Structure 1
Amino acid sequence: MAARTISKFPVTTAQFSDSDSSRRFDLHPSRLVRALRLRKQGLPHPWLGTNSLSLQSPNIRPSVLKRRPVSATVSFSLPTANPERLSSTEKVPKWSRRAIKSFAMGELEARKLKYPTTGTEALLMGILIEGTSLASKFLRANGITLFKVREETIKLLGKADMYFFSPEHPPLTEAALRALDWAIDQKLKSGDSGEVTTSHLLLGIWSEVESPGHKIMATLGFNDEKAKELKSLSSEPGPVDD
């Protein structure tokens, strides 16, 4: 009775040798072809017992991984309700990195709460989450913490539907846009050089009297006197932690 073959391809015996010894292998044709290709390319293979340096052909250049240059751009502007301002000849001041981070953290907080938009309450939470700016420190010194603001936000706006998911970048509410523009306008009116800071952003939130951010700040003890105090602190000469 003839022995059955495991594969439809017959087993082929191939002979390979290197500088040290001659070894004999039984290879399937498909494995043999692959091994020969690897040997031609000068690549190591467990069946060949060779390295890439000894087998590499002088006519084959080693493949070099070309790294493409990565270009990154950093935006120093935040959304505005007056886009024509950006195209005008008027020099628009840039936002500070802490203000931009506060804005990004506010967007993220709106998504975590599953809100469809980023409002003044989210910007307020973003300032507190960033945590290192003068505005954030001033809020905490007056007893306004992230936990309290988040709690008041849920009381005022309610919880989102369990099965609702916010967009990746929840759009700003009209009040939030006006708060950003107020901050820029105040910086321009001051005539000072420099960036728009989180203090400007916080005061912009406070300027929107009917917004959730203003109402939450007022509930937690913030008032016009404290707003004047923060404005005075942020305008003092010398390095400002903002």
Structure 2
Amino acid sequence: MAAHSISRLLPTISFSQSDRRRRNLSSSSLFLSPSSRFLDNLFLGSLTFSPPSSRTSLSRKFHPVTATVALSLPNSRPEGVANEKAPKWSWRAIKSFAMAELEARKLKYPTTGTEALLMGILIEGTSLAAKLLRENKITLTKVREESIKLLGKGDMYFFSPEHPPLTEAAQKALDWAVDEKLQAGESGEIMPSDLLLGIWSVERSPGHKILVALGFDDEKAKMLKSLSSEPGFYED
């Protein structure tokens, strides 16, 4: 059927020898010269070379981070707490979480752990937590290297899921961030600072061990908590 369609199109784009001379078109440059781009587009436009799903796959690339991650964010609302009272996630925390999932996939890990959450905070890069880490020479490269030392390299033939599930330690870190907001009676958003402090709170987790190895300690955690809990503080 495709061959029949092409044969029907050929007469509509063929020229006589005089037409070619008049238009300064040679048979070898019929579809290559700039003056014949219209014909080239007309001919190619009559055929379908891309799969039907290509349009959908391209559109997904332009969805905002919040659209792709919102459904995968942990729902850590304790029992008895109304939805409207549960703390919201700041856009920096959402992006940090999204980058953590992406980093886990890059490293070919089957799950998103505390080490990936730590890398997500550093990849987002604009939060108070990320700035404090960098000031203490805790960089993405160093955290990635320590993660590989601690957990090993992922299998190069393994394909991580789009949203690698949280490890138990990572879930505890996020639960801690939510619980701290609720216990403090604050109505503000959960920020990357809360995520970092949550990681630090889960001792013996990979993220905690990496922070210790790179020089993070309780004093720095207290400093971060003090700065982020100052009245009126908000990462705009």
Q: What TM-score, normalized to structure 1?
A: 0.66
1:78 counterpart letter in structure 2: L
CA distance in 1, matches of 2:71, 2:230: 24
The Cα of 1:163 is off from its aligned counterpart by 1.1
Task: State which of 201, 204, 208 in structure 1 corresponds to 2:198.
Answer: 204
**Can you list the C-alpha shifts for 1:106-143, whole angstroms capped at 9, x where unaligned?**
00000000000000000000000000001000100111
Residue 217 of structure 1 corresponds to: 211
Residue 135 of structure 1 corresponds to: 129
**Can you list the C-alpha shifts for 1:59-111, whole angstroms capped at 9, x where unaligned?**
xxxxxxxxxxxxx985398214x566498467111010000000000000000
- 2:164 is equivalent to residue 183 of structure 1: no
Q: Which structure 1 residue ranges, 4+ long, deviate > 3 Å from structure 2?
A: 72-77, 82-90
CA distance in 1, matches of 2:213, 2:77: 33
Within 5 Å, which residues of 2 pair with 1:78-93? 78-80=73-75, 82=76, 85=79, 88=82, 91-93=85-87
Equivalent pair of 1:107/1:169 in contact (CA under 8 Å)? yes
Equivalent pair of 1:134/1:240 in contact (CA under 8 Å)? no
CA distance in 2, matches of 1:191, 1:122: 29
Task: State which of 149, 163, 166 in structure 2 corresponds to 1:172.
Answer: 166
The structure-2 alpha-carbon separation of the partners of 1:181 and 1:86, relative to structure 1 and needing over 3 Å to count, comes to farther
CA distance in 1, matches of 2:117, 2:128: 15
**Can you list the C-alpha shifts for 1:213-236, whole angstroms capped at 9, x where unaligned?**
000000000011110000001011
- How many residue pairs get aligned? The number is 172
- 2:227 is equivalent to residue 233 of structure 1: yes
Gaps of 5+ in 1: 1-45, 47-71
1:148 counterpart letter in structure 2: K
Equivalent pair of 1:110/1:122 in contact (CA under 8 Å)? yes
Residue 148 of structure 1 corresponds to: 142
Equivalent pair of 1:76/1:96 in contact (CA under 8 Å)? no
Residue 112 of structure 2 corresponds to: 118
The structure-2 alpha-carbon separation of the partners of 1:200 and 1:77, relative to structure 1 and needing over 3 Å to count, comes to farther
Query: Higher Cα Rg: structure 1 or 2?
Result: 1
Task: State which of 74, 79, 93 in structure 2 corresponds to 1:99.
Answer: 93
Equivalent pair of 1:152/1:216 in contact (CA under 8 Å)? yes
1:154 counterpart letter in structure 2: I
Residue 29 of structure 2 corresponds to: none
1:172 counterpart letter in structure 2: L
Q: Which region of structure 1 is more displaced relative to structure 2, 111-120 or 157-166?
A: 157-166
1:190 counterpart letter in structure 2: A
Structure with greater proportional strand content: 1
RMSD: 2.5
